[in-house]
Amino acid sequence: MVAGVVDKSVVNGVLPYSKEASEDVSWHEKGNITGSSHEFRKLQIPNGKPLNSILDAIGGIPMVKLNKIPQSMGIECNVYAKLEYLNAAGSVKDRIAERMVDIAEKSGILKPGMTLIEPTSGNTGIGLALVAAVKGYKCIIVMPEKMSKEKVRLFEAFDRGFEESTMRILGADIVRTPTDADYASPDSHINTAFRLHKQMKDSIVLDQYLNPGNPIAHYEGTGAEILYALDGKVDMVVIGAGTGGTVTGAGRRIKEECPNAKVIAVDPVGSILADPNSKHGEFYEVEGIGYDFIPATLEFSHIDKWIKTGDGESFRMARRLIREEGLLCGGSSGAAMVAAMQVCKELKKGQNCVVILPDGIRNYMSKFIDDAWMVERMFMEPIVRQPVVPKEDHPFKNGLNYRPDEVVKHIWSTLNPEKNECPYNFRPWTGAPNRAIGETSSMVKKFERPMLLNTVLEAIGNTPLVRLNKIPHSAGVKCKYINMGNPLAHYDNTAEEILYALDDKVDMVVIGAGTGGTVTGIAKKVKEICPKCKVEGIGYDFVPTVLDRDTVDIWMKTNDKESFEMARRLIREEGLLCGGSSGANVSAAMKVAKDLGENDSCVVILPDGIRNYMSKFVDDEWMKKRGFLA
C-alpha cells in the first residue's frame, strides 16, 4: 500500500505550499507498526563487493573528525563532518532522489516510459537525472536562474546527450525560471513544473517538498549511519534546512535513540524557514538551503534551535574547510559549519557534534571558489598572489631538469616484502587476506567500509566496483563487466580491493598507463593471484620509470573523440560521473572484452571524476569546436 500523501498529493498534483499539502504530510517512523504504509530499509554499510548499478553507491557515507577549525575556535567537543558529497551524484539529495523513485515504482504511480519533472535548486535534479539515466526515464528539471552553470552542464550531460534538439524531442530538458519569482508566482520553478506536468501525458512531479520519501531516506539512511558510526553517542547534530527532509528524518531518528541530543537547523539570511511568520524571503547566494515558504516535509517539533547564517561567512568557512581540513565541500556546508561553531561551544570534551556537509565543490567552481567572484560581492578582500620563481641557490635547482624516463628504476619484480625487493614498507588494504599464509579473499572476515575517519586522508581508497549494464550489452560484450573508481599503493590496496570484490577471480583488467604506477601495481598483484588474467594498458607520451612493461599483455590506442564520446555515454547511460580518461579506458575495453566468456570478469579502472572537466567535454560547444560533436 502506498502512503496516502504519495497517492493523493503526488498523483493529484497538490502544490507543495498549499494548505492541503501541509495538512496531508505524515510518515511513520517505525516500518512495522500497525497501519504503516512504508516498509523501511535496514542500514547498509558498503562491504567491498560489486554493486549492481551506481545507485547502490548512494548512502553508506563516512564521517571525518575535524582537527583544525574547531581547535582554532576553542571548541572542546569532538566535531565530525558527514561527507554527503561522496554520494554517487555528489550530494545528500541523491538519497531522496533514489528513494522517491523507488517508492513511486513500488506503489505503481511511476511506470516505464514516464517523464520525471522536478522543481529544484539543483542537487535534487542532479540526483533525479542520475536515477533517470540508470532506470531509463525521461527527465525535466525546472530551476531558478541563480543556480550555477556547473549544475546546468550536469543536467545537459544526463538529459540532453549529444544533441539538445534530440532531447527536446524526447521531452527531456532544463527549464530556467526567474530567480526573483515568488514561490506562488506563475513563473516560479514550482508552478512552472506543475504546469508542465498538466500539459504532458505520462509525467509525474515527485515533489521533494511534500513527498514522504524525502524524510524517510534520511530517517533510515543518514540518521541511522550517524548513530552507527558513533555507537549511538550523539550529543548534537547540525543540519542545513531546505525542504526540511534531512533535518526532519535524521533528526527524528537520532532523537529516538539519543533523546537528549540537540538538533540544530541552519537557515540562510533571506530565507523564512526559521521564522514562518515572515511573508517573503530575500535574495541570498548560498544554494541548496533555505526557502521562501514552509515545505510540508519540514517538521519543527524535532528542532531544538535555529541558527541564521550570512552568505559571506558561509563561503569563507567553506573555503576554510577546503584549505584547512581538505574537505572539498560546497557553500551550504560552510553555512552548517558556521552554525556548528556557534552552538557546539555548549558541549564538553568527549561529547560528539555532527555537521552534515550536503554537497561538494564540483558545482561551484565558477562561484565561491573563484577569488574574483568573492571580491566582487565583497565577501573577501583581494588576495595578492606572488608567482613562484626558483632561486639560483635553491637546494633543489637541479631538479628543474628532472627526466622521469631516465631515473634509475626501482626493482618491482614481485614486490614480495619477504625478499626485500621493495625499498618501502607495505601498507596492506584493511580487507586484504594474509596471502603469505595461504589466505584467499573468500576466506577473510567480511569487510565493511570505515564509517568514522580521523582525517579525510582515510577516505582515500575503498572505491566500489559497479557493474555496467547498458554499454557492454550494446557493444555485444558478454562477460561480467565492472569498473573501479605509485605501484606500491595500487599493489597492496587497489589490486586487493579488486581481488576481494571478485573473490580472486579476475580475467581482464583495463588500465590507463599515465605514470605507469596504477597498471604496474595492480597488474603485479592480480597476476600473482590470477596468472591467466590479461592486462590491457592505454599509452603515454614517454616511458616512466615506474612502468613495468612486462606486466602488460595488450597495449591499446584510443583517440580523443571516441574517449570523450564514451565518457559522455558512461555519464548518460550508466550514471557514472567520470572524466575523459575513463572514457578512453572503457572504449578500449569494449574492443577486447568481446574475447571473454559470459562468466568471466573484466575490470576497468575509471581514474577520475567529472569535476575537473565541466568546461571541457561535458560542454556541447567545447565538443563541437573540436569536431567531436556534430
Distance CA 93, CA 129 (A): 11
| CA pair distance 408, 483, nearest whole angstrom | 33
DSSP structure string for 576-607: --B-HHHHHHHHHHHHHGGGS-TT-EEEEE--
Sort strands 173-177 and 115-119 into parallel, antiparallel or unpaired.
unpaired
Annotated catalytic residue: which of 93, 262, 524, 527?
93
DSSP string, 36-75: ----PPPP----SSPBSSGGGGSS---EEE--SHHHHTT-
CB count in 10 Å sphere of residue 562: 17
Q: How many CB atoms lie within 10 A of CB 392?
A: 5
Coil/strand/helix, residue 98: helix
Task: Please classify residue 553 by burial: count the beta carbons closer than 10 Å to its beta carbon, then call 0-12 exposed, 13-18 middle and 19+ buried.
Answer: middle
d(CA 503, CA 485): 18
Identify each DSSP E strand in 284-330 by its residue range: 305-309
Longest distance between any two alpha carbons in the chain, whole Å: 79
Among the listed residues 81, 523, 50, 123, the one whose alpha carbon sits nearest the alpha carbon of residue 288:
123
182 and 216 Cβ atoms separated by less than 8 Å: no
Q: What is the DSSP letter of 91?
A: B
Q: For residue 262, indicate whether it is catalytic.
A: no
Torsion, CA 498, CA 500, CA 501, CA 504, rounded to 10: 80
Nearby residues of 438 by Cβ (< 8 Å), 6 or more positions away: none
Cα(516)–Cα(522) distance, rounded to whole angstroms?
10
What residues are labeled active site? Answer: 93
